[in-house]
Amino acid sequence: MNHAADHPAVTLRNVRVAARHVALDLSLAPGRTLAVVGPNGAGKSTLLQLVAGLIRPDAGEVLLGGDVASTATHLTPVHQRGVGMLTQRSLLFGHLSVLDNVAFGVRARGASRQAARERAGAELDAVGLAELAGRRPHQLSGGQAQRVALARALATDPTVVMLDEPLSALDVDAAHHMRSLLASRLRGTTAILVTHDPLDLWTIADDVLVLEGGRIAQHGPLDEVAARPATTFLAGLLGTNRLVGVAASAEVVTVGAAEVVGVPATADPPLVGQPAMALFDPAAVVLHPADDHPHGSARNVWPIEVVGVEPRGPLVRVRCRLDDGQLLSADITARSAATLGVVAGRDSTGAVRLLASVKAAQVACLALGDRRP
């Protein structure tokens, strides 16, 4: 539905906000999604407010496409910027039906009641909620309400979509469905996503901006930033295991001599013969002695070499290397680590060799590369 040509670049040129100790100089290319990450107080919300026109910079300028939207002496009003916002809370109007909530912004822009409702119906259909058009917000689940809010945000054809941790208040299942929906609906749209979830990076973002102390610590394409995280915060955020290979099927990624079996992502499933990746949490990894092949339902079993051990409170993060050199992490108890002989990371014969297993249901398989048209 959206095309990059319809969406502008976003540029912050030498922008300063003195009261918040923020200094930003960056550009987001048209039609790309930028994930903004960083610790609390890093300046993430300030960035969104600058682009939306909710605050004015003390110096520098904010440009939407070729138009100057903000300077120290000029501020294009929010309603004239064509931006759309989705936050943690859906903020739907309780006295309106779902359909009229989505139609509200379209109607406010001058469309007739019938035209606004037709557009609202199309957007609800796109997020899979056309059958709930007549309900009121209190009759929706949290995930349904967020999907309605997304439909409302997109119904006005925003030139820039901004998302402020839109999945953080949802349960795991609702977040999964919403994440897949965002990955699909934001294709070709200029978008800025503030998040603390690494899965949002891998499934939604094209580029990553890392903020610390109001300054840019790192900025670039996702794969480049992930390969060399410049901050401790980002390294911790990217704790999700990510193995890269070639898709043997939508459910199988060949990684070196090993196979990783998982669940294809709803958006961007792997294409046979094309680069693909498998994502899974370190807590999903079970380690076994090298001579004790695991019994049970795990579809994935790989030989690994232990390369490091990191205590993390009651758990131990064991860093491992597959035979092709790719790394993965396993979060296990200290007792299990001691039993496996990996506390020191070495034994008398050299590197500790183990088996790692992961259930297929805990692995997400996705296409790798530029996911935008």
Task: Write the CA distances from 304 to 96, 142, 323, integer angstroms.
Answer: 56, 41, 7
CATH label of the domain that carries residue 110: 3.40.50.300
Its pTM stands at: 0.70
Domain assignment of residue 236, yes or no: no
Q: Are residues 210 and 271 in the same domain?
A: no
Boundary (domain end) residue, out of 181, 203, 231? 231
CA quadruple 93, 97, 102, 106: dihedral sign: negative
- Per-residue pLDDT tens over the stretch 236-290: 788 788 888 999 999 999 999 999 999 998 767 899 999 998 888 899 999 999 8
Residue 352 burial (CB count, 10 A): 23
Q: Containing domain of residue 266, as a range?
A: 242-367
User: Quick one: tokens of 259?
Assistant: 């196979």
Q: Are residues 133 and 259 in the same domain?
A: no
Q: Are residues 211 and 324 in the same domain?
A: no
- To 10 degrees, what angle do helices 113-126 and 142-155 make? 130
Taking residues 79-105, what's their average pLDDT? 91
- Per-residue pLDDT tens over the stretch 170-199: 887 888 888 888 888 888 899 999 999 888
Boundary (domain end) residue, out of 182, 200, 231? 231
DSSP string of 282-305? GGG-EEEETT-PPPSS--EEEEEE
Q: Are residues 208 and 318 in the same domain?
A: no
Residue 13 to residue 6: CA distance in whole angstroms? 22
Q: Are residues 260 and 221 in the same domain?
A: no
Q: Are residues 165 and 308 in the same domain?
A: no
CB 264 within 8 A of CB 348: no
Boundary (domain end) residue, out of 201, 231, 261? 231
Number of domains in the chain: 2
Q: Are residues 270 and 134 in the same domain?
A: no
Lowest-pLDDT range of 147-151, 154-158, 265-269, 364-368: 265-269
Domain assignment of residue 289, yes or no: yes
**Which residues is 306 bridged to in the sheet?**
320
Q: Are residues 253 and 344 in the same domain?
A: yes
Q: Are residues 292 and 201 in the same domain?
A: no
Q: Are residues 14 and 151 in the same domain?
A: yes
| Sheet architecture: strand order including 83-86 | 83-86, 160-164, 190-194, 33-37, 207-212, 215-221
Q: Are residues 34 and 110 in the same domain?
A: yes
- Per-residue pLDDT tens over the stretch 8-63: 899 999 999 999 999 999 999 999 999 999 999 999 999 999 999 999 999 999 99
232 CA to centre of own chain: 19
What local confidence, expressed as pLDDT, does residue 193 receive?
A: 96
